[in-house]
A and B are shown apart, each in its own frame.
Chain A
Amino acid sequence: MLASPTSAEKDPDMIAPCAISLTVNGEQVEAYVPPRLNLADFLREHLQLTGTHVGCEHGVCGACTVRLNGDIVRGCLTLAVQANGAVVETIEGLSDAGEIADLHAAFRDRNALQCGYCTPGMLVTAQDLLLQCSAPDRELIREHLSGNYCRCTGYEAIVDAVEVTARSRRERGR
């Protein structure tokens, strides 16, 4: 029952580290990474940006959601080498920049997180919706967040917090 490595795994071109250069949370980053390394592991293990969480490692749970060139992606389904030349933003960057301070406040007031493990991915996804749509109804919010698994809250508090943030942004004319 001894398995032998596949030819791809033996091919040095497939495993030799590649140089990548990208911007992460506004900082220029240069690194050598194995081609198989995914973006979530790169962020967590190479840059110690542990706010990006790993939940399922097959693109279903949404815990590893980050922003890549302005679009949200699954960090576990994106290879680090694919981020070469890209602009990557994580929960740490969005938080430090103050971009989602109002969303943070709404989550805090509504207790829209319990264990907090889904929260970074949830916040990045919610902000993505709010940037696209200024007046999402509850159904649209639920639909947009439906790729982010939360076992603790039952989602209602999260939907409430996003709804409140959308309303307050409209009122502020943002």
Chain B
Amino acid sequence: MKRTDTEPLSLFDRPNSYIGKTVPRPNLDRLMQGRGLYVSDLELPRMAHVVFLRSPHAHARIARIEAADAKRTTGVVAIVTGTELSKIISPWVGVLSHLKGLKSAPQHAIAVDRVCWQGEAVAAIVATSRAAAEDAIDAVGVEYEELAPVTDMRSALDPQTPVIHPSLGDNLAFERLHHAGDVDRALVDSDEVVEAEFVFGRHTGVTLEPRAVVADWNAAEARLTIYQGTQAPHMVQNIAALHLGLRDSQVHVICKDVGGSFGIKVHVYADEMATYALSKMLRRPIKFVADRFESFNTDIHARDHRCKGRIGVQRDGTITAFEIDDLTGIGPYSMYPRTSAIEANQVVNLVGGPYLSKNYRARARVVFQNKNVMCQYRAVGHPIACSVTEGLVDLAAARIGMDVAEIRRRNLIPDDGYPCASPTGLRFEKLSHHASLTKLLAMMDYDRLRAEQSELRQSQVYRGIGIASFIEVTNPSAAFYGVGGARISSQDGVAVRLDAQGAVTCQTSITEQGQGSEALTAQIVASVLGISTDRIRVILGDTDNTPYGGGTWASRGAGIGGEAALQAAKQLRRNILEVAGAILQSSPAALDIVDNDVVDLSDGTRRIELQELARIVYFRPDTLPPGIQPELMATRHFVPREYPFAFTNGVQASWLEVDIETGFIKLLKHWVVEDCGTIINPQLVDEQIRGGAVQGLGAALFEKCIYDERGQLTNANMADYLVPMSGEMPDIEVGHVVSPTEETELGAKGAGEAGTAGAAAAVANAVNDALRPFGAVITEIPLTPEVILTALGRI
């Protein structure tokens, strides 16, 4: 690890370091006592509520909107159409220049002339209460002329299929081809070639608090305050300003408590843009809270992919090549501003990533369709890439009769093989696939489980073991969005300030949605400064009151925001010791800060309390030696520059039982070993892993947005769209291997998406393992009883 400082003890070795310790998160009591402040709780004077009239059709021309009767309904403030609102807020196109060829059409805050998915807003009804707005909604008459919907991604590119946006020429939003090595030769030379088509259910985030925003345009100040549950406040500020014709400084984004995000709340949605614009138009606070039906119809969906895969393998287990052909349907528009091509792009990047094979060919096609938009959701692309890769590896192992752990041992990049690069050019600084696999097999007692599995089969109990290795993109640099022209910051900033009582206020541009951003920031700052965490207050989620930065997404908060906090705290520490040296007539290098006191470095003798030092600096600077100007505030920013992404790795395993009569799957146990580098708070990391894994298990077993052929979402409620509940979920054992990144002093990589990346792959492999006696192979999720029984030939 880089140690540029001359401190006698590293941050990690200091006697009262909080790094690597489980410390309860600050502010949990507020949430547990029901005293949080979520946007849905917020009420402002003169606030009105907006409800959106949404299209019942997947594709239709809007012939006429008749709102005169509705406008007379009690409590109605205004009824606004897309055409009217387009005078206030400009449309956008969700493309980025580094995704070459990506195209999309202008999207309006409220549909103008045409609706392109069931659920697209057609008009806004603003009223004094949500109930009053909903009362008026039926009185708004809309005449639609239905158009042919494009729903099946497999036929979206056929010549006879209508083109959704004629100006674009076709329904192909983006295509990427990649070829490394010589796949054709490798496959010809392989002992076996196995292929399969992997099908993924379109699913969504189902945050428990729906998306919510309160926009408050103060015409007298010419300033818009946006209260929003968002992961990226500065991005929202920039986008809102851009499309409302304001300067960034005229938009203040405040993000208090957020009821779940997972990538759902890192985008800018049309109805949120409409809410900002309505506030500006009507000159009063406007509140929008999606109901659950709207959440299912408008929160971004993800993972709607069909991916054909091929793998070549030798009899000795050597994998010779991977080849994929991925097809995904993203809805009618590429989302703004992060675009809807990133997921497929990630699939191309990540397939085969853990393995040595250098022969790789990929095609990914991203097509438009008349369904809700798709975009980045927790672990973007990783679950697809991992399921395809690990599914193919297991199929290859089965073909050559090799144990699934053994084939991985023979092909995973060796732990001493770094730095190296993947066939798609991803650079790996230091991964630990073998150490992770070894640890996983020990944790699960692999050999004993295999024996148990084989014994139970004698009594017609069908259990399976599934293993899935994975790599994960974390700590993204500007390579993710900035290079493509998006005004999304990849750097983050932290300001730390010693107050007049020796406590520290810390302002950070990363955000909190429950991951523990406040906790990790406090732990780092406290450790560097030598003060206790109860003296640290962390402020985040406020564009007026934090440094500029990206926020919390793509597993970047700890690695990037944490490093900025570390460097800011180091500077403040230097500044404090400089003042202390002057006060104590000592050399700063001979002093340290321990337990809120400045002490002698040599023997720990207490010299002056921080509180006393702060008192002198703030109230009696006249007593300081001439020429000293203390700076008890320090700000530092950080962005990775050496590696575009800090890759992490891990491996998961599932142990489950399939009831071959009913098709039900019982998850018995799940294991995850991952390597996120330096662990700041072990409990928080483990809980990120567990929560992430359960999101992946939901995708594996239950979650699917079911559309009919007319583009109607048929299960847009929580009774019909199944999510994992406590009764079906297993206990999850989490282990770690620690390979810190040397790009930062902290050494932390991201951990937020590792659980989601590999969970479904492990389950799918375990199901196929359980069903091996029947010769059934399933490469589709969710693994519903219907899918299982169909594969078994029972229905």
Q: Which residues of A contact B (CB under 8 A)?
A: 1-5, 34, 36, 44, 49-58, 60-61, 63, 90-92, 95-96, 104, 107-111, 113-120, 123, 138, 141-143, 145-159
How many angstroms from the CA of A116 to the CA of B208 in the assembled complex?
Answer: 10
Say if the beta carbon of B690 comes within 8 Å of chain A: yes
Q: What are 28 A-B pairs with beta-carbon distances under 8 A?
A: A1-B143, A2-B141, A44-B41, A49-B34, A50-B37, A51-B34, A53-B259, A61-B208, A95-B34, A111-B24, A111-B684, A113-B514, A116-B257, A117-B257, A120-B32, A123-B32, A142-B726, A146-B726, A146-B727, A147-B725, A149-B208, A149-B723, A150-B208, A151-B262, A152-B691, A154-B687, A154-B732, A156-B729
CA distance A116 to B729 in the complex (A): 20
User: In angstroms, how far is the closest chain B Cβ from the Cβ of A169?
Assistant: 18
Assess whether A149 is in contact with B718, with CB atoms less than 8 Å apart.
Answer: yes
B689 CB, min distance to chain A CBs, angstroms: 9
Q: 8 Å CB contacts to A: which residues of B124-140?
A: 131, 138-139
Q: Is the CB of B718 within 8 A of A117?
A: no
Residue contact B729 to A117, C-beta cutoff 8 Å: no
CA distance A43 to B694 in the complex (A): 32
Q: By the criterion CB–CB under 8 Å, are B29 and A108 in contact?
A: yes
A155 to B690, CA, bound (A): 8
Q: Known pairs A107-B32, A115-B261, A151-B260; list 4 more (Cβ under 8 Å).
A: A2-B141, A60-B717, A60-B718, A156-B690
Given the interface contacts A54-B40, A146-B725, does A60 sit within 8 Å of B719 by beta carbon? yes
Q: Which residue of A lies closest to B262 (CB)?
A: A151
Against A, the Cβ 8 Å flags (1 = close, 0 = not) of B196-230 are 00000000011111100000000000000000000
Within 8 A of A (CB), among B56-72: 66, 69
Contact A55 B208 (CB under 8 A): yes
Given A50-B41, A104-B29, A115-B258, does the pair A56, B292 have CB atoms closer than 8 Å?
Answer: yes
Report chain B residues within 8 Å CB of A55. 208-210, 292
Give residues 30-88 of B contacting A (CB, 8 Å).
Answer: 31-38, 40-41, 66, 69
Contact A157 B687 (CB under 8 A): yes
| Separation of A44 and B37 alpha carbons in the complex (Å) | 12
- Interface residues as binary, B721-734 with A (CB distance below 8 Å gives 1, 0 otherwise): 00111111101100
Question: Is the beta-carbon distance between A115 and B718 smaller than 8 angstroms?
Answer: no
* B28 in the interface (beta carbon within 8 A): yes
Q: Does B727 lie within 8 Å of A92, measured CB to CB?
A: no
CB contact under 8 A between A114 and B514, given known A154-B693, A154-B694, A156-B731: yes
Q: Which 9 pairs between the two chains have the least Cβ-Cβ distance?
A: A51-B34, A116-B31, A114-B514, A117-B259, A154-B694, A115-B514, A146-B727, A91-B34, A154-B690
A contacts with B: majority SS: loop
Most B CB contacts (10 A, CB to CB) among A1, A107, A108, A141 go to A1
Nearest-neighbour CB distance to chain A for B387, whole angstroms, equals: 19
Q: B514 contacts which of A108, A143, A149, A152 (Cβ < 8 Å)? A: A152
Q: How far is the CA of A18 from the CA of B694 in the complex (A)?
A: 44
Residues from chain A with Cβ under 8 Å of B718 in the complex: 56, 58, 60-61, 149
Residues of A with C-beta under 8 A to B298: none
Q: Given contacts A51-B34, A154-B729, A156-B731, are A1 and B694 in contact (CB under 8 A)?
A: no
Contact among B28, B207, B210 for A113, CB-based, below 8 A: B28
The distance in angstroms between the C-alpha atoms of A33 and B511, with both chains bound, is 39
In the complex, chain A residues whose CB is within 8 Å of the CB of B684: 111
Given contacts A151-B260, A152-B514, contact A92 B691 (CB under 8 A): no
Contacts of B691 in A (CB 8 A): 114, 151-154
Closest Cβ–Cβ distance, residue A150 to chain B (whole Å): 7
Given A1-B141, A63-B208, A149-B725, A119-B694 contact (CB < 8 Å):
no
Q: A116-B257, A151-B205 are in contact. Are A58 and B695 (CB under 8 A)?
A: no
- List the A side residues contacting B31 at CB < 8 Å: 113, 115-116, 119
Q: A residues within 8 A CB of B514?
A: 113-116, 152
Q: A2-B139, A114-B687, A149-B718 are in contact. Are A50 and B34 (CB under 8 A)?
A: yes
Q: How large is the interface on B (under 10, 10 to 19, 20 to 34, 35 or more residues)?
A: 35 or more
Assess the B725–A107 pair: CB atoms within 8 A. Answer: no
Find out whether the CB atom of A92 lies under 8 angstroms from the CB atom of B41.
no
Point out which of B33, B41, B138 has the most chain A C-beta atoms below 10 A from its C-beta: B33
Which interface residue of A51, A142, A149, A151 has the most chain B CB atoms within 10 A? A151
A83 and B558 alpha carbons, distance in the complex (Å)? 46
**CB proximity of B214 to chain A, nearest CB, Å:** 14
Known contacts A55-B208, A155-B694, A143 near B35 by CB under 8 Å: no
Q: A60 to nearest B CB, angstroms?
A: 4
By the criterion CB–CB under 8 Å, are B35 and A92 in contact?
Answer: yes
Contact A145 B208 (CB under 8 A): no
B168–chain A nearest beta-carbon distance, Å: 30
Let me know if B25 is at the binding interface, CB within 8 A.
yes
Q: Known: A60-B718, A113-B28. Contact between A151 and B723, CB under 8 A?
A: yes
Chain B stretch 163-210: residues in CB contact (< 8 A) with chain A: 205-210
B438 on interface, CB distance cutoff 8 Å? no
Q: Which residues of A contact B34 (CB under 8 A)?
A: 49-52, 90-92, 95, 120
Residue of A nearest to B759 (CB): A154
When chains A and B are docked, how far (Å) is the Cα of A36 from the Cα of B130?
13
Nearest-CB distance from A26 to chain B (Å)? 15
CB of B206 within 8 A of CB of A151, answer yes
Q: Are B729 and A155 in contact (CB under 8 A)?
A: yes
Residue of A nearest to B515 (CB): A114
A115 contacts B513, CB within 8 Å? yes
Partner pick for A53 among B143, B209, B726, CB 8 A cutoff? B209
Contacts of A108 in B (CB 8 A): 24-25, 28-29, 32
A120 to B28, CA, bound (A): 12
With A51-B33, A146-B727 as given contacts, are A1 and B142 in contact (CB-CB < 8 Å)?
A: yes
Residues of A within 8 A of B695 (CB): 151, 154
A-contact bits for B706-743, CB 8 A (1 contact / 0 none): 00000000000111000111111101100000000000
Chain A residues, CB < 8 A from B24: 108-109, 111
Q: Which residues of chain B are within 8 angstroms of A157 by Cβ–Cβ distance?
A: 687, 690
Contacts of A155 in B (CB 8 A): 694, 724-726, 729
Assembled-state Cα–Cα distance A92/B207 (Å): 23
The residue that A116 contacts in the complex, of B28, B131, B727, B728, with Cβ under 8 A, is: B28
What's the minimum C-beta distance from B82 to chain A, rounded to whole angstroms?
Answer: 18
Q: Return the chain B residue nearest A160 by Cβ.
A: B731
